[in-house]
Amino acid sequence: MMTHRRELSVAAAYAALLAALWFIAPSFFQPANLRDVLVAAAPLLVAGVGMTLVILTRQIDISIGSQFAICAVVAGLLAKDGLAMPIAAAGAVAAGVALGALNGALVAAIGLPSIVVTLATMVGLREALRWTTGGEWVQDLPAGFQWIGLGQSAGRAGIVVAAAIVWAVVAWALRHVAAGRAVYATGSDAEAARLAGMRPRLVVFGVFVLMGALTGLAAVLSAIQFIDVQTNAGAGFELRVIAAVVVGGTSIAGGRGSLAGSLVGVLLLATAGPALVFLGAEAHWDRALQGAIVLAAVAIDSVRGARL
């Protein structure tokens, strides 16, 4: 119980928010609105899974916003070229893998600090994308692109289910597969992990590659909700994902945290925005509220003496 103190407090905070909504604005719980919140949260959750692993290994990746944009554009262009949706989606994920591998190589193989590496790739990739696309959206996509041709309701359900499956699989693997334990060990003390026979550099490379793949998937889940692909997609995405993971209890110093916490963190931040509107506040307080939630979460932790 004690080891999950943080996850429990976030869950309690989320429950409090839902309770407030239940009493003040019960219309929030209309199926249509709940569905919208979940669909919006799905890409955030998928990327949040990847980011949790990255932060667990004591690294960070602030380039996923730019990766997101590139993967979305790749998916759009492949679909436009006539490829079937599953292939276009796979292409987007592959693009994410390549970009993640770039980060991973610079951090793990050469040993450069991840915050600066991903700062560089964030700027470089975003500008390279804008240069090659001229800022133009990818339009005139085939009809099968939106909702993968499944239609709106099945498509939406599919998006949420896909995110849930990804979360469940990685959550299970993190606990029960040796590679999962290696992630925690690398973040706790990479040198000790190495001496114990693990390969921390490979682990770090791996989490960046996985981050890229999941960013690609998140981009697909997001892109298929619309009929064209914006080339400035994903702006600010990385900070929202990091905020959700941190609020969910994963320590920025590595080695501590869980996917359960990240799930609650994602739900909390994804609900906070719409909740504002239902509680009668104006939408332009959204960003301030997100920042306040992050600060409150970490400040409370600190005051209670938890190691951040």
Partner 1 sequence: MTHERVLAACLGLEIVLFTIIGSNFLTLANAGEIVRASAEVGLLAIALTPVILTGGIDLSVGSLLALCAVVFGIASREAGWPIALAAVAAIATGVAAGSLNAALVSRLGVPPLIVTLGTFSLFRGLAEAATAGVRNYSNFPAGFLFLGQGTIGFFPAQAPVLVMVAVGFWLLVHRTTVGRTLMAIGFSTDGARYAGVPVGRRVGAVYVLSGLCAGVASLLYVARLGQAKADAGTGFELMAITAVVLGGTSIFGGRGSVGGTLLGLATLAVLQNGLRLADLPAELAGVVTAALLLAALGANRLFEGRNRG
CA neighbor of 94 nearest in space, from 107, 83, 109: 83
For partner 1, the closer CB: 34 or 308: 308
Task: Single out the segment in contact with partner 1 by CB under 8 A; choices: 75-83, 137-145, 219-227, 291-299.
Answer: 291-299
Residue 225 beta carbon to partner 1: minimum distance, rounded to whole angstroms: 23
Tell me how many residues contact partner 1 (CB under 8 A): 45
Q: Does 285 bind partner 1 (CB under 8 A)?
A: yes
Whole-number Å distance between alpha carbons of 226 and 125: 23
Taking CB under 8 A as the criterion, which residues in 31-60 touch partner 1?
A: 60
Whole-number Å distance between alpha carbons of 303 and 256: 18
For partner 1, the closer CB: 176 or 284: 284
Among 110, 143, 178, 195, binds partner 1 (CB under 8 A): 110
Taking CB under 8 A as the criterion, which residues in 184-223 touch partner 1?
A: none
Residue 290 beta carbon to partner 1: minimum distance, rounded to whole angstroms: 5
Residue 253 beta carbon to partner 1: minimum distance, rounded to whole angstroms: 7
Q: Does 136 bind partner 1 (CB under 8 A)?
A: no
Whole-number Å distance between alpha carbons of 170 and 84: 27
Q: Does 299 bind partner 1 (CB under 8 A)?
A: yes
Residue 236 beta carbon to partner 1: minimum distance, rounded to whole angstroms: 9
Residue 36 beta carbon to partner 1: minimum distance, rounded to whole angstroms: 21
Among 37, 90, 119, 160, binds partner 1 (CB under 8 A): 119
Among 83, 160, 164, 252, binds partner 1 (CB under 8 A): 252
Q: Does 99 bind partner 1 (CB under 8 A)?
A: no
The vertex-1 CA angle with 269 and 11, nearest 5°, equals 15
Among 121, 146, 258, 271, binds partner 1 (CB under 8 A): 121
Task: Single out the segment in contact with partner 1 by CB under 8 A; choices: 18-26, 28-36, 42-50, 293-301.
Answer: 293-301
Q: Does 124 bind partner 1 (CB under 8 A)?
A: yes
Q: Which residues bind partner 1 (CB under 8 A)?
A: 60, 106, 110-113, 115-117, 119-128, 130-131, 239, 242-243, 246, 252-253, 282, 284-292, 294-295, 298-299, 301-303, 308
